[in-house]
């Protein structure tokens, strides 16, 4: 390792704060992007009630914006945004910006085994997810075609 790369490593370590974060940074950069989805990563993401709700709502409705999730899951915008970022970084979600809104959808690049896990989770919670989807539709958020998201 050269002196300049050693200095760079130490500065990254100071930014990220721990060896494990530094290792994740190095792995991410070495592979040129997001690490492949593993079973452990999928189940860690789905083990949180909010993240599971987000994934199941996207399975039901296709694409939603942050305010839709806030309304449907009755959570604050910062909390929803934090969970969406985790799901996006793991490769489960894709986002697109439209004006001041950010819309999220399930990634079409999810491995088939992971899509089957999500499908089975959705089937087991289908009635609850559809009830939340109805609640969302009656809230006049972006799902109804009205741009009232903030």
Q: What is the pLDDT of residues 132-146, one digit of tens each?
A: 999 888 875 554 444
Q: What pLDDT does residue 101 have?
A: 87
Residue that the structure tokens 């996207």 belong to = 58
Q: What is the DSSP string of 96-129?
A: EEETTEEEEEE-TTS-HHHHHHHHHHHHHTHHHH
Q: Which residues of 111-141 are buried (b: 16+ CB within 10 A; e: fewer)?
A: eeebeebbeebbeebeeebeebbeebeebeb
Which of 50, 59, 34 has the alpha carbon at shortest distance from 121?
Answer: 59
Cβ of 18: how many Cβ atoms within 10 Å? 9
pLDDT in tens, 99-123: 888 999 999 999 999 999 999 999 9
**Per-residue confidence at 41, pLDDT binned at 50, 70, 90?**
very high
Fold assignment, 36-144: Arc Repressor Mutant, subunit A (1.10.10)
* Contact by Cβ (8 Å): 146, 73: no
């Amino acid at each position: 390792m050269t002196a300049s790369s050693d200095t760079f490593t130490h500065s990254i370590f100071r930014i990220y704060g721990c060896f494990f974060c530094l290792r994740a940074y190095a792995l991410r950069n070495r592979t040129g992007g997001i690490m492949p989805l593993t079973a452990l990563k999928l189940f860690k993401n789905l083990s949180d009630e909010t993240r599971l709700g987000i994934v199941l709502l996207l399975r039901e409705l296709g694409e939603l914006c942050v305010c839709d999730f806030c309304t449907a899951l009755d959570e604050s915008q910062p909390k929803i945004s934090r969970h969406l970022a985790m799901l996006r970084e793991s490769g489960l979600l894709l986002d697109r910006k439209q004006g001041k809104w950010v819309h999220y959808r399930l990634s079409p690049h999810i491995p088939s085994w992971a899509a089957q896990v999500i499908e089975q989770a959705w089937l087991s919670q289908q009635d609850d997810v559809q009830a939340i989807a109805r609640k969302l539709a009656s809230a006049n958020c972006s799902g109804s075609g009205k741009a009232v998201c903030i």
